[in-house]
Amino acid sequence: MPDYERLLSATASLDPPYAIVDEEALWANAADLIARAGGKPIRLATKSVRVRSIIKNALTLDGFRGVMTYSLPESVWLADQGVDDILLAYPTVHREALLELTAKDHRLAAITVMIDSIDGIDYIDHVLGAGHPPIKVAIDVDASWRVAGAHLGVRRSPVHTKREVKKLAQAIVERPGFDLVGLMFYDAQIAGLPDSSLAVRTVKRRSHAELQRRRKRIVKAVGNLTDLRLVNAGGTGSLHVTGTDPSVTELTAGSGLFSPTLFDGYRAFTSRPAAFFALSVVRKPTRDIATCFSGGYIASGQAGESRVPTPVWPEGLSLLGTEGAGEVQTPVQGSAARRLAIGDRVVFRHAKAGEMCERFDEVAVVTSGGHIVRTPTYRGEGKNFG
């Protein structure tokens, strides 16, 4: 259990709301990710961190190599900051960033753009015009499990079968201005689902077996057309599984550094909560309720209880079902609320990882010695990538 009193003591000079990162837990989680990767390099998912200093420090660890970004403007910015191995995880239609990409050789060398359709390369050609410099690209392959008419996984790429991927790969290889260097398979139905029941664990195991067979065939087929320099797969929740596939050359993780509440239900590994935010009590409407200022930091995804922040300190607090976490006030209730006074602090965990950092200009990194290092988030550096 995190030492919340130590974290609050170290950050006592700060005015809530503010974000906290426990450095000791952060790097313990990094070591766990590396161990579960089984020797394969981990590409750091920047959207799950959004703090450039933490990204930079993680890349110095033996086991992390390169980053996976979520926006082309972000990719260009990181390349200009010296990051030299960048895989953009999503297709882009950002015209200005495409022009910026091709304006500098170091950006072209560092960044691989994601493609999942011929329309995607047509769009890039439309923006850049004929004769643009070669752009490194990778194909996002749909890694979902299709069984009995069901689609288990997220709705990402339209290419799923070996035939579909090979057809797209052939079109890219034949198109001037594009260099096909990689494939990506994000197994959300494995990496993103907690081990909540035997049925879920069975689905995850069978999905992995199907994907491993299909991925092997796809990698071989595309490898016959071009020199594949990367085959990316996995996420924080599936490193230990996906890393066993010999077709995969690298893995991706990011959320596991902060360990938000969505990862509390996994049985295959235990990570340490490392990211929190603190709110101040501004009202006591009743003896058993304390109302905090701000706190409505709702995570993306399917709306529901799993997407709201969780009060974790003092122990024994919960949100009110009638209000939840609000834009300007978040009431908490429970026996622990009786001990809270105006000005006291309540610690929360976010449901997801990097999204917390979109709410704060900086994070207070608490060292093992109890000191704090205040470091800017993407937002604090004036960067908003959507």
**pLDDT (0 to 100) of residue 99:** 98
245 & 327 share domain: no
15 within some domain: no
Report residue 223: phi and psi, to 5°: -65, -25
**pLDDT (0 to 100) of residue 204:** 72
Domain end position, chosen among 227, 257, 287:
257
**pLDDT (0 to 100) of residue 202:** 67
Q: Please list, in sequence order, all residues whose beta carbon lies within 8 angstroms of the beta carbon of residue 142, skipping any fewer than 6 positions away.
A: 153, 156, 157, 158, 159, 160
Strands 362-366 and 18-22, sheet pairing: parallel
C-alpha span between 222 and 323 (Å, rounded)? 52
C-alpha span between 330 and 307 (Å, rounded)? 15
228 & 283 share domain: no
Which of 175, 105, 104 shows the shortest CA–CA distance to 139?
175
What CATH number has the domain bearing residue 100? 3.20.20.10
pTM for the structure as a whole: 0.93
| pLDDT averaged over 10-residue windows placed end to end, the chain, 386 residues | 94 98 97 95 98 98 97 98 97 98 98 97 96 97 80 81 97 97 86 64 74 92 97 90 92 96 82 96 97 96 91 97 95 97 98 96 96 98 94
**pLDDT (0 to 100) of residue 186:** 87
Q: Please list, in sequence order, all residues whose beta carbon lies within 8 angstroms of the beta carbon of residue 176, skipping any fewer than 6 positions away.
A: 131
**pLDDT (0 to 100) of residue 143:** 84
Domain residues for the domain of 249 are 23-257
**pLDDT (0 to 100) of residue 193:** 62
Question: How many distinct structural domains can be found in the chain?
Answer: 2
63 within some domain: yes
313 within some domain: yes
